[in-house]
Amino acid sequence: MTVRLSLPDLLAKAKVIRRHIVMSTTAAASGHPTSSMSATDIVTALYFGGVMRYDAKNPTAPGRDKFILSKGHAAPLLYAILAEAGYFSTDMLPTLRKIGSPLEGHPNYRRLPGVEASTGSLGQGLSIGVGAALAAKLDNFDARTYVLTGDGEVAEGQIWEAVMSAAKYRLDNLVCIVDQNGFQQTGATTDVLDLRPLVPKFEAFGWFAQEINGHDVNEILIAFDKAKHIKGKPSAIVCRTVKGYPIHQMLASDPNHHGKPLTKDEAVQAYAIIG
């Protein structure tokens, strides 16, 4: 089944997700809220814009579409999405990173329904996605796998090993989404290791690649739809995003704000900006 909200409802859902991200990381007093917020519109569109087929009541149903969060530090985003999608109660979100909670600092496949891979060591999610896409083809399932990576993460060599093998097996049921928010742990990707432009790199390896505004839900939905209609090759969607969107201006003195939660006062301010 799919959930297809109207555009206004989708925008409202993205706000709810962002509030969950701020709330859970501030309650945990640790985590990566800004890395989660840059990808919020993309993943909200996937789960609530009629793109992915899933059944929260039957999370391991054969033939389901899969979402793999390769940038595992954006776990607060994944948890907020899964809770809103009905995999578990939103009451669990404030338990993020607390002992005994399955909402660990990075996603744990064995502990939480809806988590398709244990991630947190960057670079592995796309390969896992290749395996899932190969399995779906073997089983003749019309199932699609969506993998979200960071733009710093694509410096991992394994990403390109996965890219090459996906092209070899013509995995048109695999989509790699790059959350190009321009920052990584120690600074701007342009300073650390600038791999832009990414679209020609994916194309050079035989992928169909698009670059879009990762905060424009319409553009996101159109890109996913285009990817669905590409036959014989995997799809990459490079999403230009802003780290911490839409509270980035509040954090202007530290535009990266990597791996840092908001204080309780900042959180109040953030809720007002998110709306």
Q: Helix %, strand %, coil % for the chain, to 5?
A: 45, 15, 45
To another protein, the closest distance from the beta carbon of 200 in angstroms equals 22
Minimum CB separation of residue 46 from another protein in Å reads 18
Please give the residue ranges that form the binding site for another protein (CB under 8 A): 62, 66, 108-110, 116-121, 123-124, 127-136, 138-139, 157-158, 161-162, 164-165, 168-169
CB of 205 to another protein, least distance (A): 12
The token pair at 94 is: 């404030």
Q: How far apart are CA 96 and CA 30, in angstroms?
A: 9
CB-based contacts of 7: which residues, under 8 Å, 6+ apart?
217, 218
Spatial contact of 261 and 24, defined as CB atoms under 8 Å apart:
no
Residue 175 φ/ψ, nearest 5 degrees: -125, 125
Contact 199, 236 (CB under 8 A): yes
Decide whether 207 or 245 has the Cβ nearer to another protein.
Answer: 207
Closest distance of CB 265 from another protein, Å: 37
Nearer to another protein, 95 or 118 (CB): 118
Classify residue 4 by its DSSP letter.
Answer: B
Question: What is the four-CA torsion angle of 231, 235, 239, 244, rounded to 10 degrees?
Answer: 120
> Comparing C-alpha atoms, which of 82, 234, 37 is closest to residue 146?
234
Q: Indicate the residue among 136 and 237 with the shorter CB distance to another protein.
A: 136
**Paired sense of beta strands 66-69 and 235-240, if any:** unpaired
- C-beta of 61 vs 222, nearer to another protein: 61
Nearer to another protein, 133 or 274 (CB): 133
Q: What is the DSSP letter of 178?
A: E
The first and second tokens of residue 63, run together, are: 């033939």
CB of 4 to another protein, least distance (A): 25
Nearest CB to another protein, comparing residues 160 and 271: 160
In the complex, minimum distance from the CB of residue 107 to another protein, in angstroms, rounded to a whole number:
10
